[in-house]
A and B are shown apart, each in its own frame.
Chain A
């Protein structure tokens, strides 16, 4: 029976030769990740249940990324408790505060491979689909169960297939591709389903762009968002070739969409939903108080360089806070070496620690009541980045940077061409 990539991964992980969408399976988890918001709760609960050992410490990852650096004494203490648990349980993969965002670090440091089943106490665990893995978010109770037993139940999802044709041309980016998809199918358009990306346009996608698209699969309601592994995946992993699950010819899809990437232009998601997508050139006059470049969606080297190319030789508009958070220490080092950070700082940007702070409304760059911000992150729900009376516009790194310079939401072509 022909299977989608999601079906293949869940079949392999549950020890079955085949599974079909709609079935329930109990699958073995290849990697389980939790971060500083939930790690202490997860490990405290394990202790309460009398579980002294992790199912397989080498397959457990803990990252301190959400509150970095610790904004309060209570959070500093929380981080201390997380480190004690990590030490006590012998957690195999641990990144402390300042190393970066989990969804950047796990791919970047080689922990994600095609075909893996990965769970994380974070909705953006779908990011790992960029490398052909099935990654998905779970809550703390499911995580406790998985850490104790190594297993978790899953309903095998139906799959929606996207066939990409053509290529993305700067300043349009892969962020614009995923915003276009949001506009097309809506923020619940892939609810309970898996997204699978293919076609010649997908083959042309750099891993950074795949990470952006897979990251936001969850914003469409998806369980997974998978780019089957190919030569680009192998190159990212530093290998000559890579073996990963690919969809069978004749696999059953709930829907197949075709998207010509060459027709896309810079897009913006208006407040307060990711599927309120319009052309950046048609937003109208929206002055901004803050422009945020960063997050697990768009904090990578390619993103910082795209922003630097837009602001080079220009200055951030008066009254605009332009905040840049590289997604990891490595990204920060690379962007220092390439000159992107110098360019951004000379234009007036403030560089933040590698971490999640502003994106989830935690700390370090929030919006006040009545303020408007443009952000390269993934969500614009009321209250997401601070006050519930603030407005968030989502866009690509180039559009965020152009808007920082213009002082209002703007199509980056109006800045770069001018």
Chain B
């Protein structure tokens, strides 16, 4: 896992729920099917337009709702390199770490980028930067205990070792 990532940004609002990230109707479908429905009721073009390495930026309470790990798993399967949000619902945060999907808590990030912009995120320093404008927003780096699991590639990687 890279500590610094650069990619194209997708911006969403507050309270992006697990029902939006992983609709219940596809709960037991394989990830190849589930990932096609990510955020479809907010932006029907998202799942087909997103590219590996893109960054997802959102407001507060990202991933609120159920415990379904398919929510971060779908984002990872679409190639999202990092989710940067104002805050995360706790089970989503846990699950992102458990499967090795990098995240950053950064309340001001949505204020300095629009969808389509290029941005850079530094997990160590917590800095988020709009590449074109040079504007920055300071986030909260995750505690070392969580970053260790992320760096290992997730909690099952720690179990294997």
Q: Which residues of A contact B (CB under 8 A)?
A: 24, 37-38, 45, 49, 66-67, 74-75, 78, 120-123, 125, 137-142, 144-145, 148-149, 153, 155, 187-188, 191-192, 218, 221, 223, 273, 360-362, 379, 381-384, 386, 388-389
Nearest opposing residue in chain A for B16, CB measure: A381
Nearest opposing residue in chain A for B157, CB measure: A141
Q: Mark B145-161, 1 if CB is under 8 A from A, else 0.
A: 10001000011101110
Q: List 15 A-B contacts (CB under 8 A).
A: A38-B69, A49-B160, A74-B28, A75-B28, A123-B67, A139-B94, A141-B69, A144-B156, A187-B64, A188-B15, A188-B60, A362-B25, A362-B27, A383-B19, A388-B40
Question: Distance (Å) between the CB of B2 and the closest chain A CB?
Answer: 21
Question: Distance (Å) between the CB of A130 and the closest chain B CB?
Answer: 18
On whether the beta carbons of A382 and B24 are closer than 8 Å, the reply is no
With known contacts A142-B94, A188-B89, A388–B41 Cβ distance under 8 A: yes
Query: Shortest 8 CB-CB distances between A and B: which pairs?
Result: A139-B69, A388-B41, A361-B24, A139-B95, A137-B67, A141-B98, A188-B61, A381-B17
For residue B130, CB closer than 8 A to chain A, the reply is no
> Among B20, B60, B91, B143, which residue has its beta carbon within 8 angstroms of that of A139?
B91
Question: Distance (Å) between the CB of A281 and the closest chain B CB?
Answer: 26
On whether the beta carbons of B28 and A78 are closer than 8 Å, the reply is yes
On whether the beta carbons of A383 and B94 are closer than 8 Å, the reply is no
On whether the beta carbons of B156 and A49 are closer than 8 Å, the reply is yes
On whether the beta carbons of A221 and B67 are closer than 8 Å, the reply is no
On whether the beta carbons of A361 and B25 are closer than 8 Å, the reply is yes
On whether the beta carbons of A191 and B61 are closer than 8 Å, the reply is yes
On whether the beta carbons of A121 and B41 are closer than 8 Å, the reply is no
On whether the beta carbons of A123 and B143 are closer than 8 Å, the reply is no
CA distance A273 to B25 in the complex (A): 20
On whether the beta carbons of A137 and B91 are closer than 8 Å, the reply is yes
Taking CB atoms, residues of chain A closer than 8 Å to B20 are 381-383, 388
CA distance A191 to B25 in the complex (A): 27
Taking CB atoms, residues of chain A closer than 8 Å to B102 are none
Question: Distance (Å) between the CB of A44 and the closest chain B CB?
Answer: 12
Q: Mark B10-37, 1 if CB is under 8 A from A, else 0.
A: 0000010101100111011000000000
Taking CB atoms, residues of chain B closer than 8 Å to A75 are 28
For residue B119, CB closer than 8 A to chain A, the reply is no
For residue B113, CB closer than 8 A to chain A, the reply is no
With known contacts A49-B160, A141-B156, A221-B89, A37–B27 Cβ distance under 8 A: yes
Nearest opposing residue in chain A for B60, CB measure: A188
With known contacts A75-B28, A149-B159, A138–B67 Cβ distance under 8 A: yes
CA distance A273 to B17 in the complex (A): 10
Give residues of chain B (26-82) contacting chain A, Cβ–Cβ below 8 Å: 27-28, 40-41, 60-61, 64-69, 72
On whether the beta carbons of A273 and B89 are closer than 8 Å, the reply is no
On whether the beta carbons of A139 and B98 are closer than 8 Å, the reply is yes
Taking CB atoms, residues of chain B closer than 8 Å to A121 are 67
On whether the beta carbons of A123 and B66 are closer than 8 Å, the reply is yes
On whether the beta carbons of B159 and A148 are closer than 8 Å, the reply is yes
Taking CB atoms, residues of chain A closer than 8 Å to B158 are 145
CA distance A122 to B95 in the complex (A): 12
